[in-house]
Amino acid sequence: MFNKNLPKIEFIIQRIEFIENIVKRHKYVTIALEDEIEAKPAILMHLSQIGEEINKIDIEILEKLNLAEDAKGAYNVRNFIVHAYEGINLALIEKIIKEKLPVLKEKFQRYLNEQNKFQ
């Protein structure tokens, strides 16, 4: 049976990995966010896409993974990025990248691995 949430979760993991690669190229999150031409806009776009997509995942899955509150937060970050670009708190974005994205990725990756066992 097809799980409509799997492509969404895969998309989110891919966006997190894009952010990880951007940060890796710049060595530090702070330096990546100082790159106004390429890295910062790319990171913010990926974060907004994560927020948009996580909002489409069934709440039962988010609750099972203990991510319901994080999903609300991700969508709020998406709204803030999209509607208040100039006023974005980069310290908050840095904290999200360092603390929230690794947890989100790990939980979603574990969920994908469990689902793939049954297919």
Q: Which domain holds residue 51?
A: 5-113
118 domain residue, yes or no? no
**Domains in the chain: how many in total?**
1
3 state DSSP class of 89: coil
pLDDT tens column, 12-68: 999 999 999 999 999 999 999 999 999 999 999 999 999 999 999 999 999 999 999
What is the distance between the alpha carbons of residues 29 and 96, in angstroms, rounded to a whole number? 10
**Nearest alpha carbon to residue 109 among 10, 5, 1, 3:** 10
93 pLDDT more than 90: yes
pLDDT category of residue 116 using cuts at 50, 70 and 90: confident
Rg of the chain, C-alpha, whole Å: 14
13 domain residue, yes or no? yes
119 domain residue, yes or no? no
What is the distance between the alpha carbons of residues 20 and 94, in angstroms, rounded to a whole number? 12
